């Protein structure tokens, strides 16, 4: 049984074209092989869709059908979370605004980032609020989020959803089975760490921190990124104290934890990357109790 947004798109391509799912997947793998693996499965799927005469640009998609790299995504959802509008300065010193919200439909939910001042004004003037249903036209999908720029359209919708998916859909999976765009949960060991970094947040809200690590669950390894609270959760503190941080990094090696986050494509390396939202330290007593109940 197929599942996940990539598989939903494959199903939609099969229904629209009359081509069997197995044949579409064969063409996708052939396209990736032709390009020496320099394109993701999702990207190859969009190329094959175009070759089959299928155009998603003018088609309204469910949230679970959104794929990384889509540049003209159309989707409708109800606002279930609305963050305050933030002011920021870019590297050139120019001031700007950004707004974040989360929309949901009856399949999933997704974070939406607004960069255009006209869209942001709708929030500032109270025309958009939690509970509002909105239609997005020409959104750009990247890193598991929908970004709206000046060429995107945002307008109220009268669509009604009977069953909203309010919580993030998280799947427990092996690293080997990770797919770009999925929210996943995995129990894995830390096998490599890199020097953490401190940076100024783009929205001007202060400093943030990040660390890159490599985790291994026995099926595969994956480069993993942790930000802010997750950095401190795994045991890193006083990032300006390099000697202390070095010792903390050494203590991390071989530790087993539960990681929850989103799988995205690293555009620089063109490989999957795991961006962690939260970290759970293993409770051995609970694990033993769980095993005994089986």
DSSP 186-228: EEEEEEEE---EEEE-TTSS-EEEEEEEEEE-SS-EEEEEEET
d(CA 109, CA 21): 26
Q: Where do the H-state alpha helices sit in the chain?
A: 5-17, 21-34, 41-51, 117-124, 229-233, 242-252, 284-293
In the CATH scheme, what is the code of domain 57-167? 2.40.50.140
The structural architecture, per CATH, of the domain 170-293 is Beta Barrel (2.40)
d(CA 132, CA 119): 14
- Paired with 188 in beta bridges are 257
> CATH 2.40.50.140 spans which residues of the chain?
57-167, 170-293
pLDDT tens sequence for the chain (294 residues): 233 567 777 888 898 889 999 999 999 999 888 887 677 777 788 889 888 888 776 678 888 888 777 888 999 999 999 998 988 877 777 888 999 999 999 988 999 999 999 999 999 999 999 999 999 999 998 767 899 999 999 999 999 998 998 887 788 899 998 887 778 999 999 999 999 998 877 656 678 899 999 999 999 999 999 998 899 999 998 888 999 999 999 999 999 999 999 888 776 777 889 999 889 887 666 555 555 555
pTM above 0.85, yes or no: no
């Amino acid at each position: 049984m197929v599942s996940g947004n990539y598989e939903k798109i494959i199903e939609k391509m099969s229904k629209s074209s009359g081509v069997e799912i197995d044949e579409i997947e064969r063409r996708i793998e052939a396209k990736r092989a032709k390009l020496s693996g320099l394109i993701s499965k999702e990207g190859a799927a969009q190329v094959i869709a175009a070759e089959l005469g299928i155009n998603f640009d003018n088609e309204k998609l469910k949230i679970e059908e959104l794929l990384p790299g889509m540049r003209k995504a159309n989707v409708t959802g109800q606002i279930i979370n609305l963050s305050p509008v933030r002011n920021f300065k870019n590297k050139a010193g120019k001031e700007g605004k950004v707004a974040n919200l989360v929309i949901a439909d009856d399949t999933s939910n997704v974070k939406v980032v607004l960069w255009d001042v006209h869209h942001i004004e709708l929030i500032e003037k109270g025309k958009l609020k939690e509970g509002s249903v909105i239609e997005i036209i020409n959104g750009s999908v990247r890193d598991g989020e929908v970004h709206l720029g000046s060429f995107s359209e945002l307008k109220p919708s009268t669509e009604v959803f009977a069953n909203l998916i309010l919580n993030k859909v998280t799947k427990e999976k092996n690293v080997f089975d990770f797919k770009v765009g999925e929210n996943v949960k995995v129990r894995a060991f830390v096998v490599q760490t890199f020097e953490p970094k401190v940076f100024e947040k783009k929205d001007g809200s202060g400093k943030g921190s990040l660390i890159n690590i490599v985790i291994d669950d026995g099926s595969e390894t994956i480069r993993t990124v942790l930000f802010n609270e997750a950095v401190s959760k795994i045991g890193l503190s006083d990032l300006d104290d390099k000697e202390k941080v070095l010792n903390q990094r050494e203590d991390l090696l071989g530790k087993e934890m539960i990681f929850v986050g989103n799988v995205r494509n690293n555009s620089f390396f063109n490989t999957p990357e795991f961006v962690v939202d939260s970290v759970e330290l293993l409770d051995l007593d609970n694990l033993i109790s769980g095993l005994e109940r089986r």
